[in-house]
Amino acid sequence: MKEKIPKNLLKKMYEAMLLIRRFEERVGDLVLAGEIKTPCHLYIGEEAVATGVCFALKRNDYIFGTHRSHGHYIAKGGDIKKLMAEIFCRATGCSKGKGGSMHIIAPEVGLLGTPPIVAASIPIAVGAALSSKIRGEKRVAVSFFGDGATNEGVFYESLNFASLKKLPVVFICENNFYSTHLPIAETLADTNIAKKAEGFGLPGIQVDGNDVIKVYQTAKKAVERARQGKGPTLIECQTYRWRGHVGASDDLDKRLRSKKELDSWMEKCPIKRLEKILKIKDLEKEKISKKIEKEIQGATIFAKKSRYPRKKELLKEVFK
């Protein structure tokens, strides 16, 4: 029997998901207004995955993201002022204005980077897990990646090595059913991603990625297993991004997916689902929303007032 999650913890998850949603909506508006120039891959619709997983981790556990990682940054406890400033490419950003939307970092909360190259987060997380094991630190490393990453050889190599060495790593596949603009059925002969773990002797679990409770419970069990030295777990979280691959549009104009498909997934909104479970009343919801709106407005003002990196700073803290 799975443990009952305290209501106050569920409330914090709800607030985290709503913060991610509202932050991403603001970024989308700023992109459309032409104020943000860096390419932005929005996380709207997938909030339950980052939230459920990150709430199962300790602050000093490691996570590695992708090109679509604003949600991971926020769920792990990153400063949204620094995130917004980075998206504006300002010197006060979490990557000092040199990374933009796709290259964000918050080592103070365990986010060691978001490499946008497909599948790149997977072997790096395995390396961090190996380091943790050698040092006896008991830190768990988590790799977030999309369904498209399972087309890359490094995915299979990493699963094999992590299983062989029983490394404290959890592989989180955010299966939103599209690899950029290509449906998953056109890229994988077998679309059951969780099943791929069987060949490497580790657990593979498929979960409803729009159910933050199930994501949290599944992730917590995998994290505990990893921390106990029992090795990795692959979790396939089935979810869906409401916006297009990149930018603020919904991609319906490209005829890549139907409005019926999009609408059906919007009805499965992870935030509304938890809202019903918590029975949050309108007044409470309004209070939470105003608090979040104030935080995002403050982050936006901070970003806009911040300066750009100076020329002499551009090659500092980077490999060259």
**Angle (nearest 5°) at CA 197 between 53 and 246:** 55
Retrieve residue 19's tokens: 């913060």
User: What DSSP assignment string belongs to 8-44?
Assistant: HHHHHHHHHHHHHHHHHHHHHHHHHTT---S-----T
Q: What is the pLDDT of residues 249-258, one digit of tens each?
A: 988 888 888 9
Q: Which domains does the chain have, with CATH numbers?
A: 7-242+250-313 (3.40.50.970)
Q: What is the pLDDT of residues 21-34, one digit of tens each?
A: 999 999 999 999 99
CB < 8 Å & 24+ apart, contacts of 74-78: 74/16, 74/19, 74/20, 74/23, 74/50, 75/16, 75/20, 75/50, 75/51, 76/50, 76/106, 76/109, 76/110, 76/111, 77/106, 77/109, 78/104, 78/106, 78/109, 78/111
Q: What are phi and psi of 248, to 5 degrees?
A: -95, -10
The rounded distance, in Å, linking the Cα atoms of 30 and 304 is 11
CB environment 140-151: b (16+ within 10 A), e (fewer): bbbbbbbbbbbe
SS3 243: coil
Q: What pTM was computed for the model?
A: 0.95
Retrieve residue 82's tokens: 């620094």
Question: From first to last of its 320 residues, what are the pLDDT tens digits of the chain?
Answer: 467 899 999 999 999 999 999 999 999 999 999 999 999 999 999 999 999 999 999 999 999 999 999 999 999 999 999 999 999 999 999 999 999 999 999 999 999 999 999 999 999 999 999 999 999 999 999 999 999 999 999 999 999 999 999 999 999 999 999 888 888 989 889 999 999 999 999 999 999 999 999 999 999 999 999 999 999 999 999 999 999 999 999 888 888 889 999 999 999 999 999 999 999 999 999 999 999 999 999 999 999 999 999 999 888 887 76
Distance in angstroms between the alpha carbons of the first and the last residue of the chain: 53
One-letter amino acid of 169: V
Question: Phi-psi category of 136—alpha, beta or left, where left has phi over 0 and alpha has psi -120 to 50?
Answer: left
The rounded distance, in Å, linking the Cα atoms of 308 and 98 is 9
Asked if 235 and 171 touch (Cβ cutoff 8 Å), the reply is: yes
Minimal CA–CA distance to 13: which of 3, 4, 2, 5?
5
